[in-house]
Chains A and B, each alone.
Chain A
Amino acid sequence: GAGVSQTPSNKVTEKGKYVELRCDPISGHTALYWYRQSLGQGPEFLIYFQGTGAADDSGLPNDRFFAVRPEGSVSTLKIQRTERGDSAVYLCASSLLAGLAGGEQFFGPGTRLTVL
């Protein structure tokens, strides 16, 4: 595609519910990243995929958060038993290869998650 797309653009849910956030990377990009940006803060690294596998998931805050990328393209970030503190903008980025030497990270517009 022309750029990284994320759906939905906005998601409002109730505390305790399950949500899925989707990321469509740029076609051909092998690396995919998820970040979380809280109000007034910079993006915070969550997880990084190289192909289908999660190469680094050290940023996931707890086991309620999980992400998959089964075919090495689209990725889904899944959050179970949502809490009010999960409210943030979730950003996805992709790059041609891993790291800056492999190309810059191109960011999507984000999904704004609000947990009531």
Chain B
Amino acid sequence: GEDVEQSLFLSVREGDSSVINCTYTDSSSTYLYWYKQEPGAGLQLLTYIFSNMDMKQDQRLTVLLNKKDKHLSLRIADTQTGDSAIYFCAAPSGGYQKVTFGTGTKLQVIP
């Protein structure tokens, strides 16, 4: 099955860029996702990337995919205090509907 790993914690200053990293094991994953979880709120899909892409940009978010190394990263430009949350990398295993999540990276933004 799929195994997804992330670092647990990242602290950045407001206005700096944040880079959250993730590794996965299943090379057949067709999509890879980034989710955001804020305290007391449900999981929110931030962005996703197809496995045949190596980069996707969406406003302040940039996703980089290195399929050879099975490495995914999420860059948040001009990080704001409202970006403080837990970010989960996720990949499908056994089909689109069965998604394996990483342990989450807690992003702390220091004003």
Which of A's residues lie within 8 Å of B, judged by CB? 3-4, 31, 33, 35, 40-45, 48, 50, 55-56, 58-59, 91, 93, 98-102, 104-110
Contacts and interface: CB of A to CB of B under 8 A. Distances in A.
A48 to B, nearest CB: 5
B103 A40 contact: yes
Interface string B33-69: 1000000111111001000000000000000000000
Contacts of B96: 98-102
Nearest to B45: A104
A44 B97 contact: no
A50 B95 CA distance: 13
B88 interface: yes
> Which of the listed residues A3, A91, A99, A104 has the most CB atoms from chain B within 10 Å of its own CB?
A99
Contacts of B103: 40-42
Interface of B: 4, 31, 33, 40-45, 48, 88, 90, 92, 94-104
Contact of B43 (A45, A55, A91, A102): A91
Given A100-B48, A108-B42, A109-B41, A45 B95 contact: no
Contacts, number: 63
Contacts of B31: 100
Contact of A42 (B45, B94, B102): B102
B98 A48 contact: yes
22 contacts: A3-B42, A31-B97, A35-B101, A40-B104, A41-B104, A42-B90, A43-B88, A45-B100, A56-B94, A56-B97, A56-B98, A59-B98, A93-B43, A99-B96, A99-B97, A100-B48, A100-B92, A100-B96, A104-B45, A104-B48, A107-B44, A109-B42
A101 to B, nearest CB: 7
Given A41-B103, A42-B90, A109 B40 contact: yes
